[in-house]
Amino acid sequence: MRRRAALPAAVVAGGAVVAAVVAAATARDGEPPEAAAPATTAAITRSDLVDELTVPGTLGYAARRALPNQARGVISDTRPEGGVVRRGEWLYEVAGRPVLLLYGETPVYRRLSRGSRGKDVKQLERNLKALGQDPGGIDGVFTAETEKAVESWQGASGLPRTGRVDGAQVIVAPGPVRVAEVTGAKGEPAGATAVTVTDTTLIVHIDLPVTSRRLVTPRAEVGLEGPSGERATGRVTSIGDVARRPREQGGGPTLDVEVTLDGELDGYDQAPVAVAMRGETRTGVLSVPVEALLAVREGGYAVRVAEDTGRRVVKVTTGLFAAGRVEIAGAGLRAGMKVEVPGD
């Protein structure tokens, strides 16, 4: 059964918090700390400790880019923003002629006609085949048979039957595209671009603090919560390896992380999303509030145990820091014991 990632209300995680919360007093094992501040007590508990963090993300569509336009004339028709365009369908019209989408990686940088050879010809042949035409062999050679298939496809698509293909007729993309923004209005001359598109896959982008990198692994499941409280899950599909400068003054460096949704967060584009990430889990361990740790002169940490007979300092080995608590192990420590924590 797939376990959904929880969405904690507030989380403090990571060993970096220790320096800020360890009591200023120091102690030797078995001795009270010097100049101990007034304190309250908290129980040592035995439970599962989970290293988890909730960070902000932005829901949107991947790979936003402006498509190049080579058609010349006045824009005569455009598609509504948000629409999806697939192979063989029109993106917009210039001077009454459609500009069509084909799939591939090679841009249309020349006119293709009988006698042309190359990987762009092979790309055209594959598209013609997928659109129900018969270009002959998929061999990268523009033959008379290819020309016939082009004419048939042009006629069916509303293009002049020239038997030649160039950038005024088609634009190439790796797959279906979503119209994000129409940048060329009807009645205006077509410029260098007429439409901005994205991929059709919804993703969540995260500016992840470098200090939280330990929580992210490829394909790791995360919990997602939309602006109205709706929930979904997703998986980490991209982790940047370049630390970027903080967007806000006072922030630390971040990594670009992308999450692909397993389900949907209906009705949103460019919406804020809360992302719950889960790292290491320690099962059935003793833990105390991080504030209960004392720095020991000899090095390491201790806790001050409060008992009916008095107070004593017990040196501890620390483990996972998560959710404002720290895993501890020490001689004679058990669940239910009380330890001192600094007072307000």
DSSP 241-292: -SPBPPSSTTPPPEEEEEEEESS--TT-SSEEEEEEEEEEEEEEEEEEEGGG
Question: Under CATH, which number does the domain 65-198 receive?
Answer: 1.10.101.10
Sign of CA dihedral 324, 327, 330, 336: positive
Domain span(s) for CATH 2.40.30.170 in the chain: 55-62+201-279
Tens of pLDDT, residue by residue over 185-208, are 999 999 999 999 999 988 999 999
Domain span(s) for CATH 1.10.101.10 in the chain: 65-198
Question: Under CATH, which number does the domain 15-52+281-342 receive?
Answer: 2.40.420.20
The pLDDT tens digits along the chain (344 residues) read 333 344 333 333 343 344 434 443 445 545 554 444 457 999 999 999 888 889 999 998 888 899 999 999 999 999 999 999 999 999 999 999 999 999 999 999 999 999 999 999 999 999 999 999 999 999 999 999 999 999 999 999 999 999 999 999 999 999 999 999 999 999 999 999 999 999 998 899 999 999 888 888 899 889 999 888 888 899 999 999 888 887 766 678 999 999 998 877 765 667 899 999 888 889 999 999 999 999 998 889 999 999 988 899 999 999 998 878 999 999 999 999 999 998 76
DSSP H helices, the chain, are 18-21, 119-130, 144-157
Instruction: Say which CATH superfamily domain 55-62+201-279 falls into.
Output: Efflux pump adaptor protein, beta barrel domain (2.40.30.170)
Domain span(s) for CATH 2.40.420.20 in the chain: 15-52+281-342
